[in-house]
Amino acid sequence: MTTILITGASSGLGAEMARQFAARGNDLALCARRADRLDGLKAEILAAHPDRRVETRVLDVTDDDAVFAVFRGFAADFGTIDRVIVNAGLGKGAPLGTGRYDANKETAMTNFVAALAQTEAAMEIFRAQEAGHLVMVSSMSAMRGMPKSMTTYAATKVGVAFLAEGLRHELHGKPLGETVKITVLYPGYIASEMNEKAADKAMFMTSTEKGVRSMVSAIEKQVADACVPPLPWAPLSVFMKHAPLPVFKRLM
């Protein structure tokens, strides 16, 4: 039986991952800022799967000390944390130089600096256990520099992907590299609270359930990286990286 720690688990992709992982027979360590949402999700999962174990803790991932305390607390609760999914994130942003540095800084602190803290806390546990699976939720926006309100967001998603890939590089060829696995996910447009305002405009938007099913499948296969859902995002990733800027700009 696998124990999975998910941050940002109170809504959206995190909550749906919790549901789907529970249905597959996993125990869950769930954390997010909203206690009422966590309590409701725990009750929902246990009603559907009474043999599962679900523990919850309130966590604001921008509080570094709290991140380490919560991760260590979950490790003490379960004895072992087999997988950590760094999922918590923020979608705020504004074009650079338009007076909204506050929004861009908040996104940078939540999506990158807080992800660094979560990765440090996860790897502390995995190094002690000499085993584990780190899953970093990046974004298709990490494939190319993005304009306007997406600029800072995309940059943070490149950053978290490189954190995870750097760890994979470090561990490759070492004994710990055989027992600690690293996965980076690049989700395309999957319906969630974060992008509900863009749902009518976004191309290739898929439902939360279907999109998360692709994420969960890739995670359980412990792939190194995956664009999810694979269609259309895997072939589109090549276009996004290599299309001439005038062509790419017309699609954005």
Q: Which residues form the catalytic set?
A: 153
Q: ω before 50 within 30° of 0 (cis)?
A: no
- 44: β partners: none
DSSP letter (8 states) at residue 243: S
d(CA 188, CA 86): 17
DSSP 137-172: E--GGGGS---GGGHHHHHHHHHHHHHHHHHHHHHT
- Neighbouring CB atoms inside 10 A of 242's CB total 11
